[in-house]
Chain A
């Protein structure tokens, strides 16, 4: 656990900061198909992308954004702490290490299909230098109306005080869409990632907003596979987490031992079953929605109970 890691300070900043609400971001892999199309969308949303990095393509320019060969070169011109990584999975480990070595503190790791061994190594490497990885296989992070680093469409999200943490991309959009429609805006939506290894796991995500006065409730979108939800339920219980939490678990009807799209979404025996997660949440008194559409009401009643 990294107790002093303040994600809002990185993404939003403080009022007295010169670049408050305009924190600079670089994109590793900006010249790829995926990297370039999403760079355009992030920029349109208001994310301040100061540079792109693609080895061998330094000196080029992507729609007004300068491309560098390395982060070291970028750092000569910009003080930047956030990187969106769009490189192919096989190059992820090197890209993450380069980012950590050059002062990047928040690495948003988009690529899918990163080998487990590389993910573990990257996460350990980042931890040792007090940097944080979100992902891999994450849709990214959005602070509505301030910044988005990732591939999420912006339409489902609206500004507010709920935090959404999701192991699935489209479900994060779907759930945020339902929340927004019900008037429950989001302070942050963060994709944990669909892989077995997450740079920021659910508990660490909760730590990010635990003491934030701007967050009044949390929605956890989990799915079958692994034991992240079970561990989170224990954490909520053991540490007396006070903000109201609502959970949703996808894959109740999924068969065992079949990988359901995400590398991490697979049940072995009872390990990773939806039932195991749901009963652990029940022990922690966290309501579990049966359908995404039920979530806003559960959040609103949680907030109302809190206010009493």
Chain B
């Protein structure tokens, strides 16, 4: 779960990492009040879960009141990678003399946590050379040890100490909140030497949330997402018109690739997990039926232990109950496939032995619809 900037900053604050004065607003009234409270100059920042905000123009500097509402309205309606903001953070624009970079992340390859520090903040960290990357223990880390770790960084002594303090606080946050990433980019240094977190990027391990009830408030799921998750499905909405469902995340991803290679545009990724019963398939179709964009459905079911007539029953039921009206192209291999074929003969569904055959037919149909 990736937190929004303001949520990450709430956590920073809780763990003693200073942040600039700011307020989250949703309407004109709110932004006016916030501006009075905080004072100009201000920065207006779209609250998005996707990266690349700055480049997309979703962060605006506002020097006086005359620009406030136009800028606010611009941001409120600006989509970044298909995502609209979930509020605008109004933040005091401080006089920063220096920006640093700091992040603590789960190093999957090494199965530990690693720290990246750089004297060049606010930029793409991959492009900087003056940085250190070290593995660290989350337990029993002293300030002295952190300062030692930072010794290889070309940086003023006083700043090194400030940075060490921030690192320790981030370590506590990562440990206690079970974060996979906590990044401050940039850490801003004011002329009086004080340090603040000017941005936040925090990712919490979804699988740990059951023991952190306080994190639940940050979970944002759409109604459809919630419905899908309740049924035990993994569900991702994409922007195309072909819904792709199957049993297994890897298999569905692979199907997405095959469809894209043929020029198709996936609109839904839905993995209904290990058990393909009449009921699960029916529920998956039910979720998909609520997305009007979807014009065709591709089912990729790896059989072996799946009875294809049970899958066919779900499809027959879904058509009969009027849940779905669009054609279904299904790759179903497994027991009773002849029976399944007969069951589906009067419907808009077709069964194929290989997924590539199913995709070819589906693409022929979609091209026919468009021309």
How long is the Cα–Cα vector from A226 to B105 in the complex, in angstroms?
Answer: 12
Q: Is A120 part of the contact surface with B, judged by Cβ < 8 Å? A: yes
Q: A174-B302, A196-B106 are in contact. Are A293 and B249 (CB under 8 A)?
A: no
How long is the Cα–Cα vector from A172 to B304 in the complex, in angstroms?
Answer: 13
Chain B residues, CB < 8 A from A115:
178, 205, 207-208, 211
Chain A residues, CB < 8 A from B106:
116, 196-197
A261-B50 in contact (CB<8A): no
Chain B residues, CB < 8 A from A113:
206-207
B252-A261 in contact (CB<8A): yes
Q: Which of A89, A167, A228, A258 contacts B207 (CB 8 A)?
A: A89
Q: Name the interface residues of B133-192: CB closer than 8 Å to any CB of A.
A: 178, 180-181
B236-A259 in contact (CB<8A): yes
A116-B178 in contact (CB<8A): yes
Q: How many residues of B contact A (CB 8 A)?
A: 47
Q: Which of B50, B256, B274, B304 contacts A257 (CB 8 A)?
A: B50
B2 → A minimal CB distance (Å) = 7
Q: Which of A166, A173, A224 contacts B253 (CB 8 A)?
A: A224
How long is the Cα–Cα vector from A62 to B11 in the complex, in angstroms?
Answer: 48
Q: Is A156 part of the contact surface with B, judged by Cβ < 8 Å? A: yes
A194-B250 in contact (CB<8A): yes
B356-A168 in contact (CB<8A): no
A126 → B minimal CB distance (Å) = 11
How long is the Cα–Cα vector from A172 to B205 in the complex, in angstroms?
Answer: 26
Q: Is B49 part of the contact surface with A, judged by Cβ < 8 Å? A: yes
Q: Name the interface residues of B65-108: CB closer than 8 Å to any CB of A.
A: 106, 108
The residue on B at minimum CB distance from A178 is B354
B109-A227 in contact (CB<8A): yes
Chain B residues, CB < 8 A from A262:
234, 249-250
Chain A residues, CB < 8 A from B112:
120
Q: Is B251 part of the contact surface with A, judged by Cβ < 8 Å? A: yes
B305-A252 in contact (CB<8A): no
Chain A residues, CB < 8 A from B302:
170, 173-174, 177
Chain B residues, CB < 8 A from A177:
302, 304
Q: A-side binding surface: helix, strand, loop or mixed?
A: loop
Q: Which of B2, B205, B261, B266 contacts A117 (CB 8 A)?
A: B205
Q: Which of A196, A201, A223, A257 contacts B2 (CB 8 A)?
A: A257
A180 → B minimal CB distance (Å) = 11
Chain B residues, CB < 8 A from A254:
253, 256, 269
Chain B residues, CB < 8 A from A290:
261
A171-B248 in contact (CB<8A): yes
How long is the Cα–Cα vector from A259 to B203 in the complex, in angstroms?
Answer: 12
Query: Which of A116, A252, A268, A270: most chain B Cβ within 10 A?
Result: A116
Q: Name the interface residues of A208-259: CB closer than 8 Å to any CB of B.
A: 221, 223-224, 226-228, 231, 248, 250-259
How long is the Cα–Cα vector from A187 to B106 in the complex, in angstroms?
Answer: 33
B304-A197 in contact (CB<8A): no
Q: Name the interface residues of A192-211: CB closer than 8 Å to any CB of B.
A: 194, 196-197, 201
Q: Is B271 part of the contact surface with A, judged by Cβ < 8 Å? A: yes
How long is the Cα–Cα vector from A257 to B82 in the complex, in angstroms?
Answer: 13
Q: Which of B111, B256, B261 contacts A120 (CB 8 A)?
A: B111
Q: Which of A153, A196, A250, A269 contacts B51 (CB 8 A)?
A: A269
A-contact bits for B256-268, CB 8 A (1 contact / 0 none)? 1111110000100
How long is the Cα–Cα vector from A108 to B246 in the complex, in angstroms?
Answer: 25
Q: A173-B302, A257-B51, A260-B249 are in contact. Are A197 and B254 (CB under 8 A)?
A: no
A116-B274 in contact (CB<8A): no
A196-B250 in contact (CB<8A): no
How long is the Cα–Cα vector from A124 to B137 in the complex, in angstroms?
Answer: 13
Chain B residues, CB < 8 A from A264:
108
A127 → B minimal CB distance (Å) = 9
Chain B residues, CB < 8 A from A197:
106, 108, 111
Write 30 A-B pairs (CB below 8 A) sorted by A numbering: A113-B206, A120-B111, A124-B111, A151-B274, A154-B304, A156-B304, A166-B250, A170-B248, A171-B248, A172-B250, A174-B254, A196-B106, A196-B180, A201-B111, A223-B253, A250-B250, A253-B260, A255-B236, A255-B238, A258-B236, A261-B236, A261-B249, A261-B253, A261-B269, A262-B234, A262-B249, A265-B250, A268-B51, A291-B356, A292-B254
Across the A-B interface, give the 6 residue pairs with the lowest CB-CB distance, nearest first: A168-B250, A261-B249, A170-B248, A153-B304, A171-B250, A253-B260
B residues apposed to A, CB below 8 Å: 2, 49-51, 106, 108-109, 111-112, 126, 178, 180-181, 205-208, 210-211, 234, 236, 238, 246-254, 256-261, 266, 269, 271, 274, 302-305, 354, 356
Given A227-B109, A250-B254, 8 further pairs, Cβ under 8 A: A90-B210, A116-B207, A174-B254, A196-B106, A254-B269, A261-B236, A262-B234, A269-B126
